[in-house]
Structure 1
Amino acid sequence: MQSVLESLYYGDLVPHEQSISHSPEHKLLNEQITASLNSWKKKLSEDDFNELEALTDLYHQIQGIDISSSFTNGFKLGAAMMIEVVSGMSSPVQQQDT
């Protein structure tokens, strides 16, 4: 059995693939977004709808950056907590400006 670090190194562990929620609320909201986009597709010209899709693509890109940052910050916080626990020392956690 591979360690977590080996799994991460060899690409067997891909955290962003695990982050999709399977909650009923997520599914419902996703269905509402799809229905809304389909409604806008009927109302808008093809060019206008393409602009709307480009906007949603930009939103998804920034959301991906935010999720990556949250993962990184959470990992650093977890590592800092483990260092504190193992060393028996406490030190203030540095906070980064957002």
Structure 2
Amino acid sequence: MKSILEDMYYGNLRPDESIKSADPRAKQLHQEVMMLMDNYQKKLAAAEFEEIERLLDLVGELNSMHAAAAFVQGYRIGALMIMEVYCG
């Protein structure tokens, strides 16, 4: 069994790819997004739909950056909490 440190070193630790929401609304929201995307693809010209896809890609990148920053901040807060427990 590999250690977490080895997984980090080899780039195998990707929490953003293995997270599944525990919120029961997540599946419903995903289905709704897919339905809307399908509707837009049918209604719009190819170039217009590509613009929407590009917009969603950019929003996804921003969300990923935010999630990474939140992950780092959460880790820092956790480390500070541990320091406070041990150091007072």
Task: With the length of structure 2 as denominator, give the TM-score of the two structures.
Answer: 0.85
Rg larger in structure: 1
Cα drift, residue 32 of structure 1: 0.1
Q: Residue 71 of structure 1 aligns with which residue?
A: 71
Q: Deviations over 1:51-98 (max 9, x none)?
A: 01000000000000000000000000000000110112xxxxxxxxxx
Aligned AA for 1:32?
A: E
Cα drift, residue 9 of structure 1: 3.4
State the distance in 2 between where 1:78 and 1:87 align. 14
Aligned residues: 88
Secondary structure of 1:21 counterpart:
coil
Superposed, which structure 2 residues align to 1:46-65 within 5 Å? 46-65=46-65
Deviating above 3 A after TM superposition, structure 1's stretches of 4 or more consecutive aligned residues are 1-13
Identity of aligned residues (%): 35
State the distance in 2 between where 1:25 and 1:50 align. 27
State the distance in 2 between where 1:5 and 1:29 align. 35
Cα drift, residue 16 of structure 1: 1.8
RMSD: 1.9
State the distance in 2 between where 1:84 and 1:6 align. 28
Cα drift, residue 37 of structure 1: 0.5
If asked which structure has higher relative contact order (CA below 8 Å, sep 6+), I would say 2
Q: Residue 24 of structure 2 aligns with which residue?
A: 24
State the distance in 1 between where 2:68 and 2:49 align. 29
Secondary structure of 2:40 counterpart:
helix
Q: Residue 9 of structure 1 aligns with which residue?
A: 9
